[in-house]
Amino acid sequence: MLETAQMKKPRLLIFASGTKDGGGSGFRKLVLASRSGILSAEIVGVVSNHADGGVRRIAEELGIRFFYFPGPYDAGGYSALVQKVRAEYVALSGWLKLVLGLDPSKTFNIHPALLSQLNGRFGGKGMYSHHVHEAVKKALDAGEITESGFSMHFVTPEYDRGPVFYERRVALHPGMTAEEIGKVVNDEEHSLQAAITNLVVNGKVRWDGKNPESLICEGLEIYNKLRG
């Protein structure tokens, strides 16, 4: 009976770049959440563009199938990986390449800034990792913002422009460094990513992949309180 229940769980493939030396903490949290029951999904593998980086080491430690993906980063390359493991959903967790050719209704990303803030200034090409937090710090120092956070959104062929279904805001204080901003945002990501992912892969958060107005979000209300 347990094996049958496991087979019925949605099949989730994770793309996580990490670095040549480390990274992949978000991927680790997702795997642990799937084993604790917070994330009701079968993680069928993890993909990184680094052959022997931090993501691979975590995958081997946790017994998760690892795929090295050096490109080409086109529709054919992405589709082949997803089809190989028969994944139903794809989660981008620190994946730094543009994604093409996947079902936008089944592919979603976590982004370390608020995509709704300042007319989308903290999203788009080049807005990743420390670059995002440095841009946020610049806006904080200029008095334009008093908070940052993270966003989760569905993935379309343009960086960070698919429908946003969740944002978590965190208060900032004057004088914070980019590293300090990154730390408080990352802490929030780790605390909630698995729970929000669970809503997506189990159909509570969904859209038709074409019309942003078709977006339906159920069950997110309890995660919406601002932490400062």
Question: What does the domain layout of the chain look like in residue ranges?
Answer: 1-102, 111-207
226 φψ region: left (φ > 0), alpha (ψ -120 to 50), beta (else): beta
pLDDT of res. 225 = 56
DSSP label at residue 218: -
From CA 48, how far away is CA 167, in angstroms rounded?
Answer: 25
Task: Supply the pTM of this predicted model.
Answer: 0.93
Asked whether the domain spanning 111-207 has the same topology as the one spanning 1-102, the reply is yes
Cis peptide upstream of residue 10 (ω within 30 degrees of 0): no
**According to CATH, what is the number of the domain 1-102?**
3.40.50.170
Residue-level pLDDT, tens digit, the chain, 228 residues:
444 444 589 999 999 999 998 999 999 999 999 999 999 999 999 999 999 999 999 999 999 999 999 999 999 999 999 999 999 999 999 999 999 999 999 999 999 999 999 999 999 999 998 999 999 999 999 999 999 999 999 999 999 999 999 999 999 999 999 999 999 999 999 999 999 999 999 999 999 999 999 999 999 988 875 443
What are the two backbone dihedrals, phi and then psi, of residue 77, each rounded to the nearest 5 degrees? -65, -45
Pick the CATH number of 111-207 from 3.40.50.170, 3.30.450.20, 3.40.50.1400, 3.40.640.10: 3.40.50.170
Residue whose tokens read 């999904």: 41
DSSP label at residue 179: H
